[in-house]
Structure 1
């Protein structure tokens, strides 16, 4: 987010920085790769199976896990579900609520909020509006600055739209996210990592369709996962990386070669067609875990959610990534409805979801560990 300098967008810089730090999302500010490696992403989209949410490789399945998200991005993967009611569909009521929310939480007039919602043509606001309104150019500073909390919400909303929940437009952000930023003391209590993974899973599935040529989601997360697990010269180590301080995605520097795109994609395809298990770094975090133990959250088996997007999460299919022998997994979770047509607007999948938290609250994780262990005879998960 280098184009938005929080050092100069509000006189209470210290207060603004404290709020951002407390949100648990501050690590996202400087960890994004500048430009997506389209060939690497395309090669892995081709291997994605949306029914299991795993990549199919010559020697079995692999996937991005909640533990991967935790290490790669250093954001919370447990906590309250990232979802807001009554914002899934555009109605007169939801539009009215959105205008009031923008006005109240960002500190603008109802008229300005309504104008922005009308321009965006949906329950969204433009990223350029956020940036120009709350981080104006040096020569156009407002006489009366908005409250520091309003500036913090605008900045966090901008961060989320550029990273975890980037859409294909690249220019808008859902107002529903603003609702989750209402109480700034609560922002760090949400399972942002689980939500980002659900969102990426859904768009990986959509990208597998023959008529789809774009993908949404946080592609830095996908690329960082690839570079961490496959040491095939796709990226170079960052000599300035600070372990235990920076998110793990910062350990890699992208390579952007001059080889023609088609040739590069073909080369990556052939490399992965010939890939052997011994060439995979199955557990890149083995030396970074506290006490060397995989966190119980990694073995959560169920569904994860972002707004109205619900996706299955199957750690029992990728046990080698946690240092264990892979057994034959059970059938994947069945969706309530599934229509996986050839285009994005004909791709619709619905899974059940009932929890309000992702994690150990209320014994949820304990029950799920027992459930997975019973299905897979994985008694080691319970010790």
Structure 2
């Protein structure tokens, strides 16, 4: 998703009204086509002040609108780069995302959820490496998922001001606890069926209904980044009996380029949905699985792929359950 410094400087100068010399100095300071968060904060405050001054001086409304739009672009670039497009540095924003705010009237039409998911998956790929010690991306996604599915593992507490019409992630706030990953790993290895909430979203469907697009199976992309979206891996979260999933390469063909991904969305979107037959039977119990699933799961589960020395034997490991 990189662009040249020349392209980035032109974009910042045109969209935010910053002189080229100042932009060039900022790029030198960050050593990339990036803007510091503090720099963006200065821009959107400054442009908003100019807009208010133009109103006070009875300047034409198109001049006021120009400053307001520049302020809004700087604010929204700062917002998305602190949240859904967060990087490991936590102090700069990538200028490439400024292109999404060229036409402010179209901002609401962007699929920000898919973009955030792809960006997060990009960092999760790096996070799966043993040597990785730091994560980035929209961390509210994995944090909310973990808390919703494994409430007994979490040191988070209920949010006092939570209302049912809010997003599900808003119902908890950070608590006090340790950050030792090995303890959580051990807890997951010893987890019991009753410790997991298989379908935590059922009671929230009246607030956020399940849209048909959630059944899409294949590649998602954001700019030059791409990530797999495979709902067949988690059918229990959709209240269907979990089956042994098909090979991910069937839905997300390896090596698919960005043009091919776009073509799928334009021409084959309906064909890529998980249909009623593939979803299988509705669950009677959230733990329902088809025959043979647990045997398959044990062969691919993380204690087999990456064995560790647990402090004690798991009370009911998957192989004994089989």
Query: Which TM-score band applies after superposition, normalised by the shorter structure?
Result: 0.7 to 0.9
SS at match of 1:287: helix
In structure 2, the CA distance between the partners of 1:357 and 1:322, relative to structure 1 (3 Å rule), is farther
The CA deviation string for residues 56-78 of structure 1, in whole angstroms up to 9 with x for no partner, is: xxxxxxxxxxxxxxxxxxxxxxx
Residue 272 (structure 1) aligned with residue 188 (structure 2): yes
Residues 1:378 and 2:279 are matched in the alignment: yes
Q: Which has the higher helix share?
A: 2
Q: Which residue of 1 aligns with 2:74?
A: 154
Query: Which of 6, 10, 18 is the equivalent residue of 1:108?
Result: 18
Choose which of 223, 231, 235 in structure 2 pairs with 1:307.
223
Equivalent position of 2:37 in the other structure: 127
Alpha carbons 2:241, 2:280 under 8 Å: kept: no
1:230 equivalent to 2:131? Answer: no
- Superposition deviation, residue 292 in structure 1: 9.3
Task: Provide the C-alpha distance between the structure 2 equivalents of 1:116 and 1:356, rounded to a whole number of angstroms.
Answer: 34
Structure (1 or 2) with the larger CA radius of gyration: 2
Give the conservation status (yes or no) of the 8 Å contact 1:103–1:110: yes
Distance in structure 2 (CA, Å) of the matches to 1:112 and 1:252: 42
Deviation at 1:380, TM superposition (A): 7.1
Q: Which has the higher contact order (CA 8 A, sep 6+)?
A: 1
The alpha-carbon distance between structure 1 residues 293 and 218, as it changes in their structure 2 partners (threshold 3 A), is: closer
Q: May I ask how many residue pairs the two structures share in their alignment?
A: 267
Q: Which string of whole-angstrom CA distances, capped at 9 and with x for unpartnered residues, describes residues 79-118 of structure 1?
A: xxxxxxxxx345xxx3222111101111222222222223
In the alignment, which residue of structure 1 is the partner of 2:9? 99
Stretches of structure 1 lacking an aligned partner (at least 5 in a row): 1-87, 338-349
Of 300-309 and 266-275, the range deviating more from structure 2: 266-275
Superposition CA RMSD, Å: 3.2
Q: CA offset at residue 132 of structure 1? A: 2.6
State the 4+ residue runs in structure 1 displaced beyond 6 angstroms.
141-146, 334-337
How high is the TM-score relative to the length of structure 1? 0.62
- 1:283 to partner: Cα distance: 1.8
The answer to whether the Cα contact below 8 Å between 1:198 and 1:306 also exists between their aligned partners in 2 is yes
Q: Secondary structure at the match of 1:232?
A: helix
Asked if 1:331 is matched to 2:247, the reply is yes
* Structure 1 or 2: more strand by fraction: 1
Matched, 1:219 2:139: yes
